[in-house]
A and B are shown apart, each in its own frame.
Chain A
Amino acid sequence: MKLRKETIEIQEQLGAYCRTGIEQELPGITPGRIHHYRRLISNVVNDTLRTAFPITVAALGDETWLLLVEDFFSAGVPQTPQVWKLPLEFYQFHASRESGKRLNLPFLDDLLYFEWMEIEIHTMPDRPYPDFVNEGDLLKDTLAFNPEYEIVKLEYPVHTHPVREARELKGEYFSLLYRMPESGNVQFLNLSALNVYIITRLQEEKVPLNEIKNEIARVAGIESGRYLDDALTKFSGDLLERKMILGFKEK
């Protein structure tokens, strides 16, 4: 290390002041100016997080929101050199500190996670698309799924209800987030646990729906007959229309 211990300490003192606002004895500074650094850095962090979490900001109100930002800014140790990924670290920081529990905001983790996942799906590196054809049979042919998706599991239905209502509805909820092929826009779809099971199994087995129909019937506790065929056709047809299913794999 070529830096003197004193220089390192001075640099760290300036960094600490910027993060915490606690004044430091910094030598050789122009009086009344150092606060601009804290202000400028706070603006970058706050603007980035505010833009990433508009629903959380609206749900919590400014006072609670700023408390969360201040806590993160002073006690967090942001690791990403890419500021647009900072919201992920903000979510992880508050999840690890159980801020939601502490502030009596039980839905907080879910809300931050869901809002981050929208960014994640929108910006994540492209995934290879499967070859597919447009014509096929929803039950008899293997479906070609849009690969750019994630299924999010939530304890509170923050994706479907205002938080005031969602906080009273603790349970098990699933949302499918995927990227539209042309525009790159992110779409959401509310899923049941059975829907999740079907999508997961189809992705694992890469077989037509007909081949796992009996298994689905067992899991759902229903008979494998006309009713199930209709339901599966409707479900997969809906996914096709929404471009979560792209088409059919060639035989």
Chain B
Amino acid sequence: MESKAGMVGLGLRRDIAEEILDNKILTPDFLEFAPENWMGMGGAWLKVMERALEAYPITCHGLSLSLGSPEELDWEFIGELKEFLDTYKVAIYSEHLSYTKSKNAHLYDLLPIPFRQDAIDHVVDRIRRVQDRLERPLAIENVSYYTPVAAEMTEVEFVSEIVDRAGCNMLLDVNNVYVNAFNHNYDAKDFIGKLPLDKVAYIHMAGHEQVEPDLIIDTHGQPIIDPVYELFEWTIQKMDPVPVLLERDYNFEDLEQIQGELTQIKGILNKHWKLAHETA
């Protein structure tokens, strides 16, 4: 399977699918699919997906596993997911360290799991079971959150122990670290320094929106700001090359600007990771 280390990708959103496939302005190295948005589809969207699969390497980023929920995992959905991942030979599949389902109702957004020991035990068990069923490792993403809920430990303790014990990989979302550090008043570099960076298999970068003097929302709709690029550059020097994805979910009016972000990320990677390869 082709290594994507050092490649810079973009999420395949329907709004920009044609633009990406026609290769006019946007030229990512790979594409990321949210399986939930494409599974079980036929017709025009299946054709778009097949064109994308022919033209680009892909990764998948899940939305609905709800690893932190109290209720049982949705094994029927996980079975369909496995079929999708197997069919399209997806090596990197990531999901959020959060819950999206409550009292058996899907909520379609990411709620924060209480940072507690029993939640760690619960999530570790679920990640292991999902990995066994999917026959591939999960990469677990550190999510942005706007308030802790009933926390009994720090976020970095919570994330690190889960990644360590579950035997999974990590998707490091650098923007989320920045957002959380701002929102909860901690040091982003100190946080990243304590993470198991050797387990990071994938990185996400994104823009965000400051909605209150002391609150940033992780919107994926704005350009990446310089402090996030700086944190990214600092981080990648501490780890081996992995693929990096630019997350953009809306505001697609200025595609040149989005391509500029892809180029900027690539430039930072080449500055550090290429040199590391050459030295080695």
Contact = CB atoms under 8 A, between A and B. Distances in A.
A3 B77 contact: no
B103 A15 contact: yes
Interface in A61-97: 76-84, 86
Given A2-B118, A15-B103, A84-B37, A33 B70 contact: no
A11 B111 contact: yes
Interface in A1-53: 1-4, 6-8, 10-12, 14-16, 18-19, 26-30, 33-34, 36-37, 40-41, 44-45, 48
Interface residues of A, number: 50
B148 A28 contact: yes
Interface string B92-129: 00000001011111111101111010110110010000
Contacts of B68: 11
A123 B121 CA distance: 39
Contacts of A79: 104-106
Interface residues of B, number: 48
A123 B41 contact: yes
Contact of B146 (A27, A33, A77, A80): A33
B82 to A, nearest CB: 14
Interface in B41-96: 41-47, 63-64, 68-70, 74, 77
A4 B109 contact: no
B108 A45 contact: yes
A81 B36 contact: yes
B39 A26 contact: no
A26 B149 contact: yes
B280 interface: no
Nearest to B123: A2
Contacts of B106: 78-81, 83
Given A44-B109, A184-B45, 7 more contacts: A34-B147, A36-B215, A36-B217, A82-B37, A82-B39, A125-B42, A127-B42
Interface of B: 36-37, 39-47, 63-64, 68-70, 74, 77, 99, 101-109, 111-114, 116, 118-119, 121-122, 125, 146-151, 184, 211, 215, 217
